[in-house]
């Protein structure tokens, strides 16, 4: 094992499929070096990078946005503590926003349960906050956070 991790190693460490890691590369999320044989060589920092991706995904962030966030980190050298702190803080803001949105919706629903949703005019479900109209084909942004 010359330098760095193979894609298989990285797969074992992160739990991601090898194919997924290659796929992420095409989306600019990781940018491994190559050895003489043309095989990918990853650095230790890439484990953390991918872990961040996985965590962000469980929150519903689209890959495109995750990739943007990661643009702030150095591609081939280990990021500094300041780098990660900055990214993590931005992440926390998003989480807070989602918790707030869910809490708001829960409160509205409580009103709905009481009224039995019989009056359409004042129903919170009937009048959702901000409906974003159709924007072409493809799956919808289910979590409506992308802000």
Q: By the criterion CB under 8 A, which residues form the site for a second copy?
A: 15, 17, 20, 47-48, 51-52, 54-55, 57-61, 81-82, 84-85, 88-89, 91-92, 95-96, 98-99, 102-103, 105-106, 109-110, 112-113, 116-118, 120, 123, 125-126, 128, 131, 133-134, 139-140, 142-144
Q: What are the backbone dihedrals phi and psi of residue 96, each rounded to the nearest 5 degrees, phi first?
A: -60, -40
Which is closer to a second copy, CB of 35 or CB of 95? 95
Full DSSP string of 68-92: HHHTTS-SSSPPPHHHHHHHHHHHH
The strand pair at 40-41 and 33-34 is best described as: antiparallel
Q: Cβ distance 5 to 13 under 8 Å? A: yes
4 binds, among DNA, a second copy, none (CB under 5 to 8 A by kind): none
Tokens 């940018």 found at: 31
Which is closer to a second copy, CB of 68 or CB of 110? 110
Q: Which of residues 20-39 bind DNA (CB under 7 A)?
A: 20, 22-24, 35-39
* 98 burial level (CB within 10 Å; 0-12, 13-18, 19+): middle
Site residues, DNA (CB under 7 A): 1, 6-9, 11, 17-20, 22-24, 35-40, 57, 62-64, 134, 136-140, 142
């Amino acid at each position: 094992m010359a330098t760095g991790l193979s894609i298989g190693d990285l797969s074992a460490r992160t739990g991601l499929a090898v194919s997924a890691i290659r796929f992420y590369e095409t989306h600019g999320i990781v940018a491994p070096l190559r050895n003489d044989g043309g095989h990918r060589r990853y650095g230790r920092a890439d484990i953390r990078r991918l872990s961040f991706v996985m965590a962000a995904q469980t929150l519903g962030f689209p890959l495109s946005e995750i990739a943007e966030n990661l643009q702030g980190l150095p591609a081939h050298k280990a990021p500094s503590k300041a780098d990660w702190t900055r990214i993590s803080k931005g992440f926390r803001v998003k989480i807070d926003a989602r918790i707030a949105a869910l809490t708001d919706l829960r409160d509205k629903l409580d009103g709905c349960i009481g009224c039995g949703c019989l009056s359409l005019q004042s129903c919170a479900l009937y009048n959702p906050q901000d409906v974003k109209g159709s924007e072409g084909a493809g799956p919808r942004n289910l979590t409506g956070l992308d802000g």
